Structure 1
């Protein structure tokens, strides 16, 4: 065999399947658009706020750490984490909720669900090959994106290939991503909320889990009044949750791996083999409830989210009434897909600022 022939064979095979998946996701258009999609705070309000892109990177970092410590497939966890929010609409969850209502009102029982939309992005909406749609990813990656959040009983799964079984847990790596997602958004929402004075440490330090973190920070010699305290608090919260998860999951992951390959055979009615300790899980649930009450429903956020919802509603109504407002490519898809689904796909792919710009062009005024 000639040297150049060996080189080209090496080129074809040097990455493992999940590394190929990861690289295909990183280079796709939907991943780049996450930079200008809302996580919780509209990102044009300030440069500090997390976006869907920075959130996905933070989830990936935490998922890789957890997987490495549990001796799981780190690259599989990484690609699931990087892909898990590709289907999110502009304006965070309110955008998806509004599209769900609009589609169901138009007679689409499956509505809109962001995990399913992420799956559709990866298998249908991204176009990178001549003879088929999607990014040509592995089953484990696609299953992890569909079923990384528990419980799995969602209508959209009933129309999919039977391999994506409702009655089975996904891979351990997908379960890890679910918990990494929870760690990431809880910690960075606190960071952003404190930074922009939408929540205070006076609110947080009434919470048991936050008091545990405060004790960690105080032992470092950083007091509550110092400017550094916020950074050390967020780092301490991540550290506490990561260490708790690893310690509580080692045995379950080890036992599970003895009898299960990456494709899961574990019945979904059985408890998850990985997770937080009971004490920490209970405390984290209470902290998330506190954040919902004090932060996520804050009037400044609520007003922006309401405006985003009206933008989604206005775009959907306009495109449904006059399809000439859509780009030619979108109109050409009516031949192979349902009109309302094409419209929903187009809106879901928009960034916040493109959605607002389009709304302004159609209606002649800004939100």
Structure 2
């Protein structure tokens, strides 16, 4: 039986928590961050991640990652790292599970299209949309909008990639009401969730790319870390069948990355010697990080995936269709909000306004791939009923 280690002094804990915007009695059976995690898992935006694109559109295959499976895999890696470092696992897990809530349908293609369409009205930012979801759009409680998450979860959600010098408008507006210390580093738990995202999408996109035959194992031999993992996987058995070779390679890649970040992070923490979570926040540099060599290897993997997967002609075709479809839905609804369902139409107001732009953006961003395709047909195919 695995016993949870005691928290280090610079871990976030209930003793140094800053509470919630709307005060609530503490739960008898859960910590504040277990409660946040549970609220995230139960919210509708989290469920919809099951049908939102990671790289491949959902209907292209049952085995490819979706935003939901990716988020679960990030949470698994993040929780393991947090435990090894003596940090709060529950806050780390909550942040990992919530980090992609704001993504629109069709992955980065959908986000690019929505950002371009909304450019005259401030653009679209999935990080700001995640904050809108958990503080405004989820309507589950009688006394307030959103999920009323703790300060630590909200801070980690908006700052997981580092201090925000020029925050998106909604983040800036929310910060005016509830200060999230945007100019400081995030907590160590938030930093772990962010770097676990890198580990997960690099290794698992390699897995999905091999599964889709966008490239072959032989194409990976030159990649740092991956090439060594592939060679070690081949040595693990005299005759490793291709599916097992893929899995043996990827788990070695993950292990190498996690081992590197644990060693480098421990080194940085020992040098900084932080006494509190705020000492982590005041640090000039991130404390959870790869070594320079592993950071270079990760960039090489990213460059390979960009060239051989994200810009593969098969992915390009689907991305082009997804961008066009997303832009057309937004343009049609923004020009005529009367086409929106009743509850959305009442909030959108007049066509072409900032209010309409924001509400239509919320509506489109909340769509799954499948719903977006169906909605596009309903809006453009005259033979279909609305």
On whether the aligned pair clears a TM of 0.5, the verdict is yes
Helix, strand or coil at the partner of 2:274:
helix
Q: CA deviation at 1:218?
A: 3.4
Are the aligned partners of 1:168 and 1:264 in contact in 2 as well (CA < 8 Å)?
no
Q: 1:41 aligns with which of 38, 53, 56?
A: 56
How many residues align? The count is 352
Q: 1:194 aligns with which of 180, 190, 210?
A: 210
Q: Structure 1: which 5+ residue stretches go unaligned? A: 1-9
The separation in 1 between residues aligned to 2:207 and 2:261, in whole angstroms, is: 21
Q: Deviations over 1:309-336 (max 9, x none)?
A: 1111111111122222111110122369
Match of 2:287 in 1: 273
Match of 2:98 in 1: 83
Q: CA deviation at 1:222?
A: 5.8
CA separation of 1:186/1:210 partners in 2, compared to 1, >3 Å: closer, same or farther? Answer: same
Q: Deviations over 1:204-258 (max 9, x none)?
A: 1121221221233234236676441011011111111111111111233456573
Q: CA deviation at 1:264?
A: 4.9
The separation in 2 between residues aligned to 1:29 and 1:319, in whole angstroms, is: 22
Q: 1:329 aligns with which of 337, 343, 354?
A: 343
Are the aligned partners of 1:70 and 1:253 in contact in 2 as well (CA < 8 Å)?
no
Q: 2:31 aligns with which of 5, 16, 26?
A: 16
Q: CA deviation at 1:260?
A: 2.6
CA RMSD after TM alignment: 2.2
CA separation of 1:34/1:166 partners in 2, compared to 1, >3 Å: closer, same or farther? Answer: same
| Matching of residues 1-367 of structure 1 within 5 Å | 12-105=27-120, 108-109=121-122, 111-150=123-162, 152-156=164-168, 157-161=171-175, 163-221=179-237, 226-253=242-269, 258-261=274-277, 264-267=280-283, 270-334=284-348, 338-364=355-381
The separation in 1 between residues aligned to 2:33 and 2:232, in whole angstroms, is: 37
Are the aligned partners of 2:106 and 2:319 in contact in 1 as well (CA < 8 Å)?
yes
Q: Which moved more, 1:331-340 or 1:40-49?
A: 331-340
Helix, strand or coil at the partner of 2:281:
coil
Q: Structure 2: which 5+ residue stretches go unaligned? A: 1-24
Are the aligned partners of 1:172 and 1:262 in contact in 2 as well (CA < 8 Å)?
no
Are the aligned partners of 2:280 and 2:287 in contact in 1 as well (CA < 8 Å)?
no
The separation in 2 between residues aligned to 1:301 and 1:282, in whole angstroms, is: 26
Q: Deviations over 1:292-320 (max 9, x none)?
A: 01111001001101111111111111112
Q: CA deviation at 1:365?
A: 8.3
